[in-house]
Chain A
Amino acid sequence: MTIRPTWKLSGLALAAVVVVGACGGGTLASQTPAAQASTPANQSAAPVGTPAQTITYRCTKGDGQLNGAGSTFIFPLLSKMGDDYNAKCGVKLNYQSIGSGGGIKAWTDNTVDFGASDAFLKDSDIAAATKGEPVEVPVTFGAVVVAYKLSGLSAPLKMTPDVIAGIFDGRITKWNDPLIAAANAGVTLPDTEVSVVHRSDGSGTTSIFTTYLTAVSPDWVTTVGGGDPAKSAGKTVEWPVGLGASGNEGVTQGINQTDGGVGYIELAYALKNSIPFADVQNKSGNFITPSLDAVKEAANLPSYPADLRFNLVNTASANGYPITGTTWLIVYKDLSKVLTNQDRAKALVDFLWWAIHEGQQDSAPLFYGTIPASLLAQDEAAVESINWNGQPLLP
């Protein structure tokens, strides 16, 4: 992990940063107010007392618009970020949540300026991209919860990895199954049929969830992947049971409509819809309630791989939530190969730079985890590596 001296920034330091925006000629010197220091976004461990630094957000306008598509998981966050960035720099961020698979395809086919995905690119995805090398920038973290609708239950259910795998690979068909009962001593479980709802679109949420199941359940790998872990984890898998619904929205809808319904959705969707979700047993044996703190625990790795392609599921952290995922923004490294307008390329990297710094303040209120201090420098290096025919795009 290399930290570039100029940008030794993270966590609390960010709040002290003086932001200078220069869009449309005028200087838009929006000082980050001191109040931001108290936003939970900035609570992530950071060396207290890092000297204040000045970040210049260049705010290149380009065509006044940037188009992105992909992950529904990150949609609430990008929507808020886009609004803030537009207010700051006058660039409209049009993000369409069509699913992570859609984000990757849109990036591959170069039909949008950036893709967003909750699964990092597979080697085959990179090979399929004829227009150049990718840069994958992790921007946020979140929990995928096992949400359910079951009348007559008050406390959240506890689920072991085996229970979750059993529900989704079809071994468990009734809610009073002995496996579920064993994990929930003292709870009277109804004889209701389990009605699984999964994603019908190529989904990063699915990727996070199935990567988790693949990591914890050999049964899952056998039933769904035919013994091949590469096939039992991914944006689309061959579901043995259940019905498909589009997007986190559709799955939420599907669970909510049926007594006995169960599915996997992003934490924010469950909270906003007041759908109950399970405490999940992690690697250390603790039952963890999905929460922002438990996500942060899981996201905080001692080190990250150089290409920023990493999995957080089945965390070793004692208090970490085991079904935690990352959303990457994906762009081409050499933008001169995919864009005709260099200003648009500048607008894109300016936004990315903003998103991994000031934009992070939007995370916590929406239940997303911020970029951990230990990752920020690598994120910065990734954004700096984006170029125009070899020329750096950031100032």
Chain B
Amino acid sequence: MVFRVIAAAGTVVALATVGLMVYDSVITTAPVISTFGIWDFVTGLRWAPSFTIYGALPFIFGTLLTSVIALLIAVPVALGIALLVTEYLPPRIAGPVAVTVDLLAAIPSVVWGLWGLLVLVPFLRPIEHAIAASAGSVVPFLGPPTPGPSYFAAGVIVAFMIIPIVAAVTREVFAATPRLQREAVLALGGTSWDVVRRVVLPIGRAGFLAAIVLGLGRAIGETIAVTLVIGNAPRIGSSIFSPGFTLASVIANEFNEATEPLHAESLITLGVVLLVIAVLINGAGLLIRRRVTQVAGRGS
């Protein structure tokens, strides 16, 4: 009985923390919502504290765009690494290779941002410039100007940060595919690619999807590294090479100094928007994971 009470106490602490956060966010976001309305706040294009005008869309756009860029880069790479480790490399080498890739996750966000600003951005600038000058005139969203810090630079940095996460989960999913079916394909004269295409990918698909969602969840909340390389411009850029802003990075930049009316409250509301996006993504991840467990259950 005592035990239950103590265990319950721990749980209550956690629940109370979340409860306080919910209470706090309701209290602080209420004036923002009553002033602008939820819809107008979320779809507002203009963020101008000096005019007491707050719209979240440039940040939502920036968060989604950088995350999509990050996924477009990270997912194929992570998939390749997971296949390499589970299918192509002998176990003796596969282990160390996996750990080495995981080391990417040991680099703190602030260090990624520093390297991004001092090394990656100068490196990418001429490339962005060349793309903008050639393809940019034909393809939308690839045009100039290319000042360096941009959605694209932020996306690339975030990609590096989520590769180890997506790769690690995908690796585990692939490693769990039944040996019997692989051997069957090989016995029928299939190549290693046939094993991947006919066994590993179909069976591991849902798990792979869950890994992507996990990476996405991490990507949308990334703050410090993004702040340093995205250019911090609160508007929707005309190109992926334009400077922009994300929900997390605008909070990091402006919260400590929000003294204009409703400014701090609006930033907290952005935090709630970010949280809602995170919870939605997390929920999708849970659904997929549940399906994975069912599939895995059937498989064994």
What is A's interface to B at a CB cutoff of 8 Å? Answer: 98-106, 108, 124-125, 128, 193, 195, 200-202, 225-226, 231-232, 234-239, 242-246, 253-254, 257-258
Contact = CB atoms under 8 A, between A and B. Distances in A.
Contact of B258 (A101, A124, A231, A238): A101
Contacts of B49: 236
Contacts, number: 90
Interface stretch (B15-23, B104-112, B144-152, B182-190): B144-152
A231 B51 contact: yes
Contacts of A237: 50
Interface of B: 46, 48-51, 117, 121-122, 125, 145, 147-149, 227-228, 231-234, 243, 245, 253-254, 256-261, 264
Contacts of A231: 50-51
Contact of B253 (A201, A235, A253, A257): A201
A193 B133 CA distance: 14
B237 to A, nearest CB: 10
B94 to A, nearest CB: 40
Contacts of B254: 101, 200-202, 236
Contacts of A102: 256-257
B253 A258 contact: no
A88 B238 CA distance: 56
B233 A99 contact: no
Given A231-B50, A258-B148, A243 B256 contact: no
A257 B122 contact: yes
A236 B253 CA distance: 12
Main secondary structure of the interface of A (DSSP, over half): mixed
Contact of B147 (A98, A106, A243): A243
B259 A193 contact: no
A202 B148 contact: no
Contact of A238 (B51, B243, B257, B264): B51
A156 B185 CA distance: 73
A242 B234 CA distance: 10
Contacts of A104: 257, 259
B257 A202 contact: yes
8 contacts: A100-B257, A103-B257, A105-B258, A236-B260, A238-B46, A238-B51, A239-B233, A243-B243
Contact of A201 (B125, B245, B257): B257
Closest 5 CB pairs of A and B: A101-B257, A244-B232, A200-B232, A202-B257, A243-B231
Nearest to A98: B256
Contacts of B264: 105
A200 B257 CA distance: 11
